[in-house]
Structure 1
Amino acid sequence: MIKNKKILVVGAGNAGRPVANLLNFLDNSILVNDLNSYDDLPKKAQKNIDILKNRGIKFLLGSHSKIAIEDFDCVFISPNIPKTSPFIKKLMAAYSNGDISLITDRDVGLILNGLIHIPMIGISGTDGKTTSTNMINYIMKEKQETLIFSSLQSSLVIEGLVEMIINDEGRNKDLAIFELPHGTIRLVNGLDLSAGLLINLTPDHMDEFNSYEEYIERNIAIKDLIDKKGIIIANGDDPIISTRLNTIKSRYIVYGLKNPQKIEFDDKSYYNPNLEYDVFAEDIKLNGLYGSSFKMKTSGFPTLVCDKCGLINCDCENIQYKNILPFEREIVLKIPGLVNVENAIATISMGLIFGLDLDYLINRIGNFNGVSGRFEKIDIVNDVNIFMDASHNPESMEKLLNGLKISNRLIISVDNPDTLTPRDKFKIGEVLSKYTDLIISSSKNETTEVVDIDASIEIFKGVNCGPCGENDVEFFITDSVFKSIFKALSIAKPGDTILHIGPGVVNAYDNVKNDIKNGIEFFKALSGKIVLIGGCGTVGSLMARVLNDNGFEVTVSDSCKSSYLEAIFKDEGIGLDLGGHSEDIIKSATAFFLAPSLKENKKVFSKINKYLKSLNISNIYGVEDILDNFSTNKIVIGVTGTNGKTSTVHILKNIFKTAGLKVPEHNLNLQGNTELIPSLQARLNGDVSVVEIGTFGVKGEIERSVKGSFIDLGVITNITKDHLKNVNFNDYINCKKELAIYVDDLILNGDDINLINFKKYNENGDNTFYGIKQINEDIDNEDVEDKEFVYENSIIDHPICPICKNEIKNINPILNNLGKFKCLCGHTNPKLDVFASNIQFIDFNEEINTNNLNKNSNNLSNSNYNTNSNTTSNSNTNSSTNSNNNQNTDSNNFLNYKNSGKHIKYSLNIGKNHGEIILSNSGIYNVYNSLAAAATAYNFGISFEDIVKGISSFEGVPGRFELINNSPKIILDFAHNPAGVVSVIQTVFSIYEKELNDKNNKLIILNSISSESGMESDIQMAKTLSKGDILIPISQSSIVATDKADLNNLVVNEKNLNAKNTKNNKSNEKSLKIIKLKGKYDFKKEGTLGASKEQIKEAIEIAIDLANENDIILILGEAGIKFSKEIIKNYLK
């Protein structure tokens, strides 16, 4: 024995800890040292370290640098620590020099052997150790006092044996039974086992070994632990064990099913030789989940029982052992699977060699209900059985599933097969696909608690290459067992079986089992009656609808007495409890969901929680539970950008609906989006989902929306300065760039200089560019000064090249920052995949044929020329110009178009497809919006004919250039940034050019904009709005900006400028009247809501009083959109 020494134990893992514990028990002073910090060690190790610290063992973790070797008498080096480590080399050098003694594995084994005085049974092999250990203990414990150590008891054998010694647990015991995993079998070298069981030796944990042979030698070492009087029971079906029986020095018994296996590893195959079985099974009948029956046969085999005294391990001279005579008996098992037939044969044989009666053993094994975590039944829900099993490698899974007959569908849930050891996940996928058509893979490594989606993807690849193939196996990925079980139950039908497998059942048994139970409880709670409190709000209503769409019974309970969503709730079958919370409805609920506003309000939540608990209700959930446990099974398209998001979304939806597809709507009265709305909307029932994302330009916002909404296809309309209150423009661009980074396929505006460069962030995906084809796109020969003049007149900054960071001089602007660019560094517009050409303004009354597809070149100015933006055709230019009298051939600036129409007509070009589009919601910005929608729909697979019909039948979006009155014309628009304001003003002057050129008519502008871009942008918008005749600033920011912009001086300068460039134009007589509200209002800005209803009312009354029947009143900003219709309706009665 080693006593009274100062001992250094290197390694705080499964070997080092029990050795330190044992040596500490022998009155040695112990320091355990490990390179890993405490936090880097598994939680189970941390727990055991805390126990050892309380016993006086010291730990130095995270570094070897503070260790002074000369302070120690002895050192123990854990077996798995690399011998190449500099610190280990230093220790071995000290040992060679005689400066320190080395404690070996065998020293530890001999110490243990000297302290244990009862017979021991050891079980070794790759798979089935825990089941066999517990099965043997089950038959033994009725006849003897046993000690058991297995992973099921959360006890490694070495830890269990040491604790047995320290606590003197073996004093009143007759037998110790333990499994011998490969990691600690070396530490019991020196033990004398009375009996051993060698189950199988398939490849596993191969990252810890240099070769398969090394792995075999480690595990087969149990044969050398058998006492000279002992017996080892060996599986003859295993090709490795059966070929090495001649190396066993003790007596041995060969068992099996007479079903020789083949092992293939590293391009080598291993086969069984012909051999005689001592005991085996035949006539096996598998009864699915209800066990099996078979005949057990033997030709006889020896026992451990002395024929003279009837004892085990006796001291009789010339000892003779009793033998088991040949027999054939029927065995019936409750536990299912072929692998348990194998385990039962070995267990009965073990009982027989210890002298137990055969009839007792047959009866006892027949009553065995299984082992926790080994085909353990967890629950039955809606006639769906739920089991879990510790199978964690291809071979153990094959054994478990082979012959497992299930009447209905088998749904397999699998946790991450990796532990600290990576496993062959591809092969696991191949194996599983042979036995099921539905697999749910949790990516969470239950040992390290790290989510690794690549592990699930590798399983999926194996499934696709399996015998069934990708088309026959449904495959889902989650990030926890909880979600997997909930998903499985959501899919399962009565009679199905859910089986969860994986190493987590061994290494994190309690966590995995709790996850399974919690998943079941969550499903049960939702399967009853759900009450959603606060369901009339924006997020709450969508929560209710998602739950309802997933087949659960939902009632919305809200304190509000009515809701504009009532009709939708009723139409979708959602119950309503409005104007209070009915106690009867509350009491009938099995689950409660709270809208985020209620759950985040501590005072309100506390009150609700207290009330629900008084009714013994504990199942209270939130939006995160919906997002975590419900996904979408359709393509989701995410649309972002500065302007045009909402219109693009609505046009795209109209195209899909025209094509006969169902598109889920959130049906909410709101401007913009929170992150939760697209995530919930994407989960509503439908064929394809289109969501608006990235409203606020906040870092991480789009990334979270992409992941939360499962976006497959991304659309970016444009990028201009907006929401810049706390960030600069580059930061804003980077926010939008997140879509390019996290989505594979992109639809990009090819006329936006800021978007063109996004393709480099999406090199592995598909990039589709859309834009407007100009009549003359060769901008190299254009007059730079003229172009700069036109551009500056739009009140937009010069674009900065994203490549060289210099101002771009060669520009042909089309709309705001959109147009044709060519930087001196060579950066220019890409080739357009989808484009508009031959753009015209037409009168309301012009005959329209929305089915006019594949027009000839006379109506398509660009139908015959190359789509490369640097190539044009003179003949096409002439023909398009001659055939369209209303079109101004200077398409570089659409503000100067000579027209008096109200619609826009253009030719849509996608590849070889050409068709005529009529836009009822006029404006060049809507040409771009419709192009974005067309490119997206075409990418999705919608026919060109349906795209044309869908765009041409689109009637517009409320609040987006919405005409709500004809005389005077009153237009609402949600413009809220400089580019949006310029677009609206350009559209007004384009559509109503005839009216506005009449000096008797006025453009009256009401500005309620409350931008998120700071005062500089507010001033820029005020300057743009000076093009009107009367300007009424309403919001506080617009009032301040109007004052700072010095608009009257600006108008005078603009008048002089226009006089030099135009003739007989109303702008030469330009004057601007600014009217401020007289009322005193104390309104605080709320996001982009910049004015109250009362402010809007006063402004509208002023405007209508000033307007004649041909005037145009333009109301801008969110407040105008929100309040104007009701005010005007009442005012004009």
Structure 2
Amino acid sequence: MKELTRSYIANEIDGTLIGEDKVINGIFNFLNAANEGDVVIRHWINETGVDIAKEKGVSCIITQNPKGKSIARGKELEVPIIITEKIELANAFAIKWAINKFANESIRVVITGTNGKSTTAHMIYHILKEAGYSTYTNTDSKSEFNTLIDPMVAKQIAEFEEQIEAMVLEVSEVQGWLDDIMRDHAYFMTSAIDPDVVVITNVALDHIGLVNSIEETFEETSGAVKALKEDGHIVLNFDDPFVRKMKEFTSSQNILFFGKNADIAINDNGISYKGKTLIKKEDLPFKSKHFIQNIMAAIGVTISLNINHETIKNAVSSYKPLERRFTIINDNPCVIDDFAHNPDGITKTIENAALIGGGNFFVVSAIRGSRGDIINQVNAEAIAEGLQNIPYKLIITSSNDVVDNLNVVTGSEKKVFINALENKGIKYIFYERLYDALENVLSISNKKDTILLIGAQGMDPANKLLKKILASNKNNNI
């Protein structure tokens, strides 16, 4: 591996080094976690940040936006600063360097697409662990590390307690900062990871404002396939015409499709591989259509990696889902919690949840705060579509009692959400507080009913609040 110096980094990320060139002995890190010799990557830096970097003894700072007198402060304190026009280049380089230094011989998998990335990645991780590999993944229940727009993944790879033998990395299909899209994000990050397998889950409309059409989403997502090496493996969703088309973007002959009548398919018996049943239906951890798609994608990846079929079967059968992925958090009534946060995911989740139980069907949805009017309009329209021909009771909330300042629902977001529902003839009850919304739905439901909780950050605290309400109701009934 080439010696890591400040000038080498600057050259690799199209940056300009301000300060002395020296060899770097640390890792890529955040400012607040940095140790002596580390390289700090920050989208912006000011004089205070430079002071902290000096105090911590960092080797240099990489930034896209040096604010105020930060450059002059860096010169004064002899803290080198590398300025790049694209901070994503710095994070891509950091990941590439960390993999080459700490996990060069590892098997690597990239998962991208609009929906199902986290469940698919987590299931692949589970299968590889079952197969005996020391495995790293950036997927967690809240999907905090899958954007790759900060040095978290590079840091975690460097600090992993074991020798990494396999790596499962979720890559955001579309990424941006504020209202500016980071063009070719999936391409840059996949190129940096240099995976053995790439899997594309689907292409649907999300990240509105960064991209404004399904065609733009397709173009960004397909970057992961374009970045794959010639002898790499690709696992594609045959049921999605946009994903199916991505076959045209690679010269690789190692392609597996999952979906209806594909290499990996679902039928009355279960999931089959090339016509032979691999996992019986009764052994599947999920029964809903979109989660079965995730299972098939994970199976496709691990078959591509030549994992023993019996190991795959055992791992899938024993799989426990991530939090907030169609998770049942209460039995009577049945309360299902799901992270559904974009139109395609919302509609499919409602349709699947409505099939559960024989009582009334309730939906409690959190409006997406500080994400813009357009995404909230199309999310509300997706709720309306999912509720077509289904007897329902809908409760919506701004969750203003639990969200932080980055997720506050604005007046215009609330207005467009409600207007979209009313324009579709959807009846609803609105609560500002998530606690009140949950308390109400529990008070008007009975043990045979089904309650679906959907939404992103605004619904994250629901499980904890629900337990609090149920405990309070139990105490009051004594």
Q: TM-score, normalised by structure 1?
A: 0.33
Distance in 2 (alpha carbons) for counterparts of 1:934 and 1:482: 41
Q: Deviations over 1:498-523 (max 9, x none)?
A: xxxxxxxxxxxxxxxx98xx33xx23
Distance in 1 (alpha carbons) for counterparts of 2:141 and 2:79: 31
Q: Name 2:168's counterpart in structure 1.
A: 690
Q: Name 1:747's counterpart in structure 2.
A: 235
Query: What amino acid sits opposite 1:747 in the alignment?
Result: V
Q: Deviations over 1:465-507 (max 9, x none)?
A: xxxxxxxxxxxxx5x7859999xxxxxxxxxxxxxxxxxxxxx
Aligned: 1:591 with 2:21: no
Alignment of structure 1 residues 542-941 onto 2, 5 Å: 590-594=36-40, 596=42, 600-609=44-53, 611=55, 626-627=94-95, 629-630=97-98, 631=100, 632-633=103-104, 634-666=106-138, 670-671=142-143, 673-675=146-148, 676=150, 677-678=152-153, 684=160, 685-696=163-174, 698=181, 699-726=183-210, 727-744=212-229, 745-773=233-261, 832-838=262-268, 860=269, 906-910=270-274, 914-917=278-281, 918-941=283-306
Q: Any stretches of 5+ residues in structure 2 without a counterpart? A: 10-19, 58-72, 83-89, 176-180, 399-408, 472-478
By how many angstroms is 1:628 displaced? 6.5
Aligned residue for 1:637, secondary structure, equals strand
Aligned residue for 1:1023, secondary structure, equals helix
Cα pair distance change 1:769/1:704, threshold 3 Å = same
By how many angstroms is 1:747 displaced? 0.6
1:981 pairs with 346, 358, 364, which one?
346
By how many angstroms is 1:1049 displaced? 3.7
Alignment of structure 1 residues 247-258 onto 2, 5 Å: none
Q: Name 1:818's counterpart in structure 2.
A: none
Query: What amino acid sits opposite 2:220 in the alignment?
Result: C
Cα pair distance change 1:934/1:667, threshold 3 Å = closer
Contact 2:325 2:337 in 1 (8 A): yes
Query: What amino acid sits opposite 2:219 in the alignment?
Result: N
Q: Name 1:1122's counterpart in structure 2.
A: 460
Distance in 1 (alpha carbons) for counterparts of 2:310 and 2:137: 24
Q: Deviations over 1:754-813 (max 9, x none)?
A: 11111111123422111134xxxxxxxxxxxxxxxxxxxxxxxxxxxxxxxxxxxxxxxx
Cα pair distance change 1:671/1:1008, threshold 3 Å = farther
Contact 1:1008 1:1116 in 2 (8 A): no
By how many angstroms is 1:710 displaced? 2.8
Contact 1:748 1:756 in 2 (8 A): yes
Aligned: 1:1008 with 2:367: yes
1:1031 pairs with 384, 394, 414, which one?
394
Q: Name 1:1075's counterpart in structure 2.
A: 429
Cα pair distance change 1:765/1:915, threshold 3 Å = same
Contact 1:1022 1:1038 in 2 (8 A): no
Query: What amino acid sits opposite 2:147 in the alignment?
Result: T
Aligned: 1:949 with 2:314: yes
Contact 2:53 2:79 in 1 (8 A): no
Distance in 1 (alpha carbons) for counterparts of 2:239 and 2:29: 49
Higher relative contact order (Cα pairs below 8 Å, separated by 6+ residues) = 2
Distance in 1 (alpha carbons) for counterparts of 2:136 and 2:436: 38
Distance in 2 (alpha carbons) for counterparts of 1:714 and 1:1031: 39
Aligned residue for 1:664, secondary structure, equals strand
2:435 pairs with 1097, 1104, 1117, which one?
1097
Alignment of structure 1 residues 375-414 onto 2, 5 Å: none
Distance in 2 (alpha carbons) for counterparts of 1:1044 and 1:738: 33
Contact 2:120 2:295 in 1 (8 A): yes
Cα pair distance change 1:668/1:1046, threshold 3 Å = closer
Distance in 1 (alpha carbons) for counterparts of 2:218 and 2:29: 42
By how many angstroms is 1:612 displaced? 5.5
Cα pair distance change 1:485/1:738, threshold 3 Å = closer
Cα pair distance change 1:1038/1:1110, threshold 3 Å = farther
Cα pair distance change 1:644/1:923, threshold 3 Å = same
Cα pair distance change 1:961/1:688, threshold 3 Å = same
Distance in 2 (alpha carbons) for counterparts of 1:1118 and 1:593: 32
Contact 1:636 1:682 in 2 (8 A): no
Alignment of structure 1 residues 425-440 onto 2, 5 Å: none
Distance in 2 (alpha carbons) for counterparts of 1:681 and 1:1020: 39
Q: Deviations over 1:175-227 (max 9, x none)?
A: xxxxxxxxxxxxxxxxxxxxxxxxxxxxxxxxxxxxxxxxxxxxxxxxxxxxx
By how many angstroms is 1:701 displaced? 0.9
By how many angstroms is 1:610 displaced? 5.5
Contact 1:1025 1:1031 in 2 (8 A): no
Contact 1:772 1:928 in 2 (8 A): no
Query: What amino acid sits opposite 2:42 in the alignment?
Result: P
By how many angstroms is 1:708 displaced? 2.8
Query: What amino acid sits opposite 1:717 in the alignment?
Result: T
Q: Deviations over 1:437-456 (max 9, x none)?
A: xxx5xxxxxxxxxxxxxxxx
Q: Name 2:32's counterpart in structure 1.
A: 534
Query: What amino acid sits opposite 1:670 in the alignment?
Result: K
Cα pair distance change 1:610/1:659, threshold 3 Å = closer
Q: Name 1:794's counterpart in structure 2.
A: none
By how many angstroms is 1:686 displaced? 1.6
By how many angstroms is 1:1042 displaced? 3.3
Contact 1:701 1:735 in 2 (8 A): yes
Aligned residue for 1:591, secondary structure, equals coil
Q: Deviations over 1:521-560 (max 9, x none)?
A: x23xx49xx997513xxxx7xxxxxxxxxxxxxx6xxxxx
Distance in 1 (alpha carbons) for counterparts of 2:155 and 2:226: 22
1:1022 pairs with 372, 383, 408, which one?
383
Alignment of structure 1 residues 195-214 onto 2, 5 Å: none
Cα pair distance change 1:721/1:1031, threshold 3 Å = same
Cα pair distance change 1:753/1:533, threshold 3 Å = closer
By how many angstroms is 1:713 displaced? 1.6
Distance in 1 (alpha carbons) for counterparts of 2:296 and 2:164: 24
Q: Deviations over 1:354-408 (max 9, x none)?
A: xxxxxxxxxxxxxxxxxxxxxxxxxxxxxxxxxxxxxxxxxxxxxxxxxxxxxxx
By how many angstroms is 1:746 displaced? 1.2
Contact 1:972 1:1120 in 2 (8 A): no
Q: Name 2:178's counterpart in structure 1.
A: none
Contact 1:1004 1:1029 in 2 (8 A): yes
By how many angstroms is 1:611 displaced? 4.2
Cα pair distance change 1:667/1:721, threshold 3 Å = closer
Cα pair distance change 1:621/1:929, threshold 3 Å = farther
Contact 2:135 2:166 in 1 (8 A): yes
| Percent identity for Structure 1 against Structure 2 | 20
Q: TM-score, normalised by structure 2?
A: 0.73
Q: Deviations over 1:36-61 (max 9, x none)?
A: xxxxxxxxxxxxxxxxxxxxxxxxxx
Alignment of structure 1 residues 1049-1060 onto 2, 5 Å: 1049=425
By how many angstroms is 1:1022 displaced? 3.1
Contact 1:1023 1:1045 in 2 (8 A): yes
By how many angstroms is 1:979 displaced? 1.3
